[in-house]
Chains A and B, each alone.
Chain A
């Protein structure tokens, strides 16, 4: 009752503040801005918020909050467009949506998948806000109960989803996840600063790879290249099947799933330090495990969209808890949000809840309201936007290459970004070709940092507590929360392994000759051995142990596969190879020729800077590959470049210079 007595008056005040035409107008403005940024893959909330930050100073607080919250709230909603339509994970919040959303688009059911996703987002957002309204008052002790051992367990729970997504050969899945973990360890170690697989002369590698680039490389590039080889529309027969209404109905039919996944989203979002990176995978894993008929997952089961999408908007609400209560941002965009609040004169922290509960609720419910507006707009847009999937893909591809290159530049603003994108894209293509689980790889990469840090730190604290007394140490690691999480992990691994064979996250793959898969496996093994040796030479134990252990496990998996390969027949799933048969093998265009187009953009950028390179690339591609008339070629190219300059101008980003720029002083945007 006490809780209600505190909450209700502040809540009604908050509503009085929000529900005024002016605030609603700013909220909608934020939503529109967020939508227009979020639709483009790789441009998440940080880019959007940085866009409005200069205007926040001096604004009226509630209006400013409404603007920022509106912007943040729709980003996990709007990035679904890229995930479903193009198979590009728009941000870390919609990685898992790709798995079933994109196959649905290929079936011509893009509108259905989108509207189901938006309905789930909407519901997740609202449920999140409701839970938060009361939870935020009592959350402090609960959040403090999550120490390092607990966070480590959640990270492991995320990793255990690999069991579900490993594909037909479990060893391959584990090896893929380990490879992802190893990629995540490249660069300066967080603990002691030792360099791993990099030197002081390779500053790009020292910082490690960013999720944007790895996500785009592993998912987007292989899909774009594969589609481009087909020379047809994304939707196989270029028609749209079921419409947006079916999607909403699908969501309603799975409302319990949506509720469960929303709750998962709120809980994981509340824990500071985990952020959004695991939520959608845990939700996807849960969706698969709790479904009776699992055969459709990976090839277009609508539940695979509803689960993750319900969780990722609920997570944004949950993420407000650490942000507001402790002043510790749960994600990059939350960090910028705190900065914006400070501009308005509010400091996030415990005193905000106790002194300005009405402002706190304004934030929470603006978020909910923005969800409603944003999801509503998105549902309305999903029909028309889904038509993109019926356009001949060859006309879309050059602009997609342009967009993902631009998105990749946001990571470091150097040419290295483009090179990394290409390299990881190549790895993604090979993983896809030989049926190594790409989701497992990405989970490994996303969680590498947390897995290493939390295990190191928890180990260090635990040993200090054990030194004090056995009891103190035991109390520290064996809390009720860790034990429950441990039980969930064990169950999910056991159940996952048993089910993994039925679930093909990326569809069935033909098998063929032994040679190509064997060579790929040998290359992976060779890299792992080099990485193992590199880790072995590190002097600091804390920086060494994690990559050493992971690469040992991965090498063991690879050796076991090599032994199996020697005995297995050519038809064994070990020898999966998309070039051996099926859609890819029969495509009218070759793999390398298609990839060469993207390589061309890269090389030209290195020579003459991005914008000039883009001009040459667009004209050549549209004229030669797509076979358009000169008129249309030039028109579309000009459109693309104009758009790129507009984006760069608005977001105030420069393009990395090429060799040419070293010799001649060119005006913006050619610099």
Chain B
């Protein structure tokens, strides 16, 4: 019930935000006409990932909403953990209004960490859509009994976690658990978070996390069967940039709440700021759509309006809830603000994480 009512609240909020945004942008510019054209939406991942799902969800809706109803094709360009596609977009894509790019947290993290492969700069690009998500950590029922909001009871457990790599989105949960004083050994080398969940189900891993949509789909049935218990969410950001409860999971504590009551874990200082910076880059600003460097105001306007039109559809709340979860889908200035949050971390946070990665996991990015 609570889930439902929050959904309604969020939807109303998003809808009113859209109305405001439309009012602001409605009159000023002419839109480009894309009749008979083909728009290429480049996704720097393979056909099987979360970004593919997200783009496949939006593509047909976007096609209907763009002026002239062009064909929108999703083009997959996987490689080098998405830096290949991003480099391509930065150096090769033409600003003709027919090429757009979908980035994800995995594109942002190498950028933030100064990965030597990165040859792109987010400041060059023009954001037209930003989609957020959240994440939930969960435990097996026997261990969940030792956890009452204060993680001290879990300190003597040897945790095993199936991880895709410490420099990926997994950085956020790994750092969070370490801050709580948990002894989590990541088993690196799994291919996707689904494999991590399977390891948990097989009893090989005894702690795991999933992004919201996968949690709803894959872990909720386990929770109902009593095979898994949610531990905490990473939270969501309110308008002032504070971490609050995730609107999709209002009944689950956030990491911030857990950290506050767990001795030894602090919600201020260097570690916390570093965690928060990377959480923001990885989750509330996870997926974004860009036009390339040099795109005209007219093009940016056209796409922003088209995404607003998609969000204003009567059935948008319903179809997106199933496929994307209840998270803000932002355009215009809100998207710009999200981009800023997601692609700028304080130098100290960056230095802390780079140092931590090297000391704790022996990972260097050189």
Contact = CB atoms under 8 A, between A and B. Distances in A.
Contacts of B194: 326-328
A53 interface: yes
B79 to A, nearest CB: 5
A349 B204 contact: no
B80 A54 contact: no
B9 interface: no
Q: Label chain B's interface by main secondary structure.
A: mixed
A560 B59 CA distance: 59
B108 to A, nearest CB: 17
B187 A336 contact: no
Contacts of B191: 190, 273
B217 A327 contact: yes
Interface stretch (B195-203, B237-245, B250-258, B290-298): B195-203
A347 B185 contact: no
Nearest to B366: A200
A461 interface: yes
Given A53-B56, A467-B158, A413 B77 contact: yes
Contact of B322 (A192, A207, A345): A345
A329 B48 contact: yes
30 contacts: A49-B47, A54-B73, A146-B202, A147-B202, A147-B204, A148-B204, A188-B80, A191-B165, A203-B79, A203-B117, A207-B84, A273-B191, A326-B198, A327-B194, A327-B218, A338-B48, A339-B47, A343-B56, A345-B322, A350-B221, A413-B77, A456-B188, A456-B189, A457-B187, A464-B185, A539-B362, A540-B363, A542-B188, A652-B73, A652-B75
Indicate the size class of the contact surface on chain B. 35 or more
Nearest to B362: A540
B280 interface: no
B189 A332 contact: no
Contacts of A460: 160, 185, 187
A54 B361 contact: no
Interface residues on A, range: 35 or more
Given A207-B79, A329-B48, 11 more contacts: A46-B47, A192-B363, A193-B165, A193-B363, A200-B116, A273-B191, A326-B201, A327-B194, A453-B189, A456-B187, A464-B185
A335 interface: yes
A567 interface: no
A206 B80 contact: yes
B167 interface: yes
B313 interface: no
A349 B158 contact: no
B189 A57 contact: no
B155 interface: no
A542 B188 CA distance: 9
B8 interface: no
Nearest to A203: B80
A46 B218 CA distance: 24
B56 A339 contact: yes
Interface string B68-93: 00010111110111001000000000
A144 B202 contact: yes
A147 B79 CA distance: 29
B46 A332 contact: yes
Interface in A344-362: 345, 347, 349-351
Nearest to A206: B80
Interface of B: 46-48, 52-53, 56-57, 59-60, 71, 73-77, 79-81, 84, 116-117, 158, 160, 162, 165, 167, 185, 187-192, 194-195, 197-199, 201-204, 217-218, 221, 322-323, 361-364
Nearest to B117: A200
A329 B57 CA distance: 19
A254 interface: no
Nearest to A322: B198
A76 interface: no
Interface string A43-66: 000100110011001100000000
Contacts of B48: 329, 332, 335-336, 338-339
A207 B53 CA distance: 23
A342 B323 contact: yes
A412 interface: yes
Contact of B80 (A148, A207, A464): A207
Contact of B60 (A49, A54, A326, A540): A54
A192 B73 contact: no
Given A203-B80, A327-B217, A191 B59 contact: no
A327 B160 CA distance: 22
A468 interface: yes
A203 B188 contact: no
- Among A146, A193, A203, A412, max chain B CB count under 10 A is at A193
A339 B53 contact: yes
A336 B47 contact: yes
A272 interface: yes
A62 B364 CA distance: 50
A339 B52 contact: yes
B195 A328 contact: yes
Nearest to B185: A464
Interface string A308-343: 000000000000000000111100100110110011
